[in-house]
């Protein structure tokens, strides 16, 4: 196929057995040229992630306490993996140096990054590939913002010197060389960055699930797997709560037009989910929707005023009231004389009364109605644009399930329909929508 970049999550590299699975996957396809590993994750329910232990080590150092006993738990994990895989290099010396560096630098990002750094070295030794330290090729500016174009230039030049290489995920460096990390789960971002710089034909994100599901399996029983979705659909679903892939990881590969394949390390024969720029023409035509996702705990602020549509600047003043108190909004459904604003409850905890007062002062509305306890559900799919009666089908399903709709929001792209409902109807509504559109 050309060049493939693989990223393996923490659950895919949690122990020696999983390292063997990863090696088998990589060696089964000569198109894999670059691998991005996470730090070892949990091996069982009560286990601890290496990154969590490293953060604990930093906190001990920061308090002037000894971290050696805690770091021994980390060392034992890596030593156990190295021994089981028969790796022959001075890993004990590497671990001692890492422990000393955590004590010396007293930097939480440096400490946290050592999980990926150490795992990257182990994986490179096991595969017999080159190792590229992410701090040399992933760059942040002085304010800590990711420097995408600078990174792409440096990374591209570095990759040309290595036919096969392992690049740890999650971290990079400031211009002065100090280590800085992405947010948790940032190895997904690192993998996408490497794929873009390598001008890869495919970015494969290996994890512990066989792709995206059409709905949350904790709510909908045995939902189908999404075999293909577009980056736009992924963005909509991720925004509303689907969490298989770090949300920021889509931008580097989307920009470069590189498809992403979500695969399961424990079931490598499963094709998983393919994320593409444009849906293929042969996508299942009977499958109108791609997925359903939702969030709870929103407030619906409904502002009513006669002749609102003719009053210049009314909407701007409402939104200015939110901005003045540092509050962002989720959706903005409107009518001729009514403007509704959907806001996350957490945004209004301490500022609701102040915002209401400001809107009354600047807009003089006839009434303001506040409805808390709202849940939002997004039904997403490119197929909705060409399927007559999609909205009617959705609303009928909710009606028959006894769910009252508090708000409707549909963008002009017709890629999704968002409904606001009472929180107590959330699970019922999710199941009703799924059953209305998905055949068993």
Q: pTM for the full model?
A: 0.89
Delimit the domains of the chain by residue range.
4-276, 291-437
CA atoms of 54 and 58, how far apart (whole Å): 6
Each residue's pLDDT tens digit, 22-78: 999 999 999 999 999 999 999 999 999 999 999 999 999 999 999 999 999 999 999
pLDDT number for residue 34: 98
Please state the rounded mean pLDDT for residues 230-252: 80
CA atoms of 298 and 261, how far apart (whole Å): 33
Q: 291-437 has which CATH code?
A: 3.30.2130.10
pLDDT number for residue 67: 97
Each residue's pLDDT tens digit, 123-163: 999 999 999 999 999 999 999 999 999 999 999 999 999 99
Residue 383 — very low, low, confident or very high, per pLDDT cuts 50/70/90? Answer: confident
pLDDT number for residue 286: 66
Spatial CA neighbour of 31 closest among 166, 201, 187, 162: 201
Which residues make Cβ contacts (< 8 Å) with residue 294, sequence separation at least 6? 216, 240, 241, 375, 376, 377, 378, 426, 429, 430
Q: Where does 257-340 have alpha helices with state H?
A: 314-324
Q: What percent of the chain has pLDDT over 90?
A: 84
**96 has a pLDDT exceeding 90:** yes
**Which CATH class, in words, describes the domain spanning 4-276?**
alpha beta
**14 has a pLDDT exceeding 70:** yes
Intrachain domains 4-276 and 291-437 with the same fold: no
Residue 146 tokens read as: 């990711």
């Amino acid at each position: 196929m050309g060049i493939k970049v693989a990223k393996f999550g923490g659950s895919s590299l949690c122990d020696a057995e999983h390292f063997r699975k990863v090696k088998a996957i990589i060696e089964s396809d000569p198109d894999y040229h670059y691998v991005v590993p996470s730090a070892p994750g949990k091996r069982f329910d009560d286990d601890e992630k290496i990154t969590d232990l490293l953060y604990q080590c930093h906190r001990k150092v920061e308090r002037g306490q000894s971290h050696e006993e805690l770091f021994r738990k980390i060392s034992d994990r890596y030593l156990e993996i190295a021994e089981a895989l028969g790796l022959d290099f001075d890993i004990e010396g590497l671990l001692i140096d890492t422990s000393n560096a955590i004590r010396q630098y007293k930097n939480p990002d440096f400490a946290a990054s050592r999980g990926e750094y150490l795992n990257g070295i182990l994986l490179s030794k096991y595969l017999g590939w080159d190792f590229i330290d992410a701090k040399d090729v992933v760059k942040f500016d002085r304010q800590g913002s990711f420097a995408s174009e600078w990174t792409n230039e440096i990374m591209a030049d570095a990759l040309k010197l290595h036919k096969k290489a392992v690049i740890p995920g999650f971290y990079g460096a400031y211009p002065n060389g100090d280590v800085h990390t992405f947010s948790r789960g940032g190895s997904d971002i690192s993998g996408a960055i490497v794929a873009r710089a390598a001008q890869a034909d495919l970015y494969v994100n290996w994890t512990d699930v066989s792709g995206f599901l059409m709905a949350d399996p904790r709510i909908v029983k045995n939902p189908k797997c999404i075999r293909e979705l577009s980056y736009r659909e992924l963005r909509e679903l991720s925004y509303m709560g689907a969490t298989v892939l770090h949300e920021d990881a889509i931008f580097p590969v989307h920009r470069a037009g590189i498809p992403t394949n979500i695969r399961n390390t424990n079931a490598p024969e499963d094709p998983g989910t393919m994320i593409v720029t444009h849906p293929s023409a042969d996508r299942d035509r009977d499958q109108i929707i791609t997925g359903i996702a939702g969030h709870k705990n929103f407030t619906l602020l409904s502002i009513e005023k006669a002749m609102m549509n003719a009053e210049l600047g009314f909407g701007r003043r409402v939104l200015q009231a939110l901005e003045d108190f540092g509050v962002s909004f989720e959706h903005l459904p409107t009518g001729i004389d009514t403007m509704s604003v959907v806001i996350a409850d957490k945004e209004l905890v301490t500022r609701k009364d102040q915002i209401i007062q400001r809107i009354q002062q600047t807009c003089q509305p006839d009434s303001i109605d506040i409805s808390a306890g709202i849940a939002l559900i997004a039904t997403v799919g490119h197929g909705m644009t060409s399927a007559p009666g999609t909205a009617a089908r959705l609303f009928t399903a909710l009606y028959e399930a006894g769910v009252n709709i508090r708000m409707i929001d549909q963008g002009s792209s017709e890629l999704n329909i968002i409904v606001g409902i009472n929180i107590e109807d959330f699970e019922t509504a999710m199941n009703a929508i799924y059953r209305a559109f998905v055949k068993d």
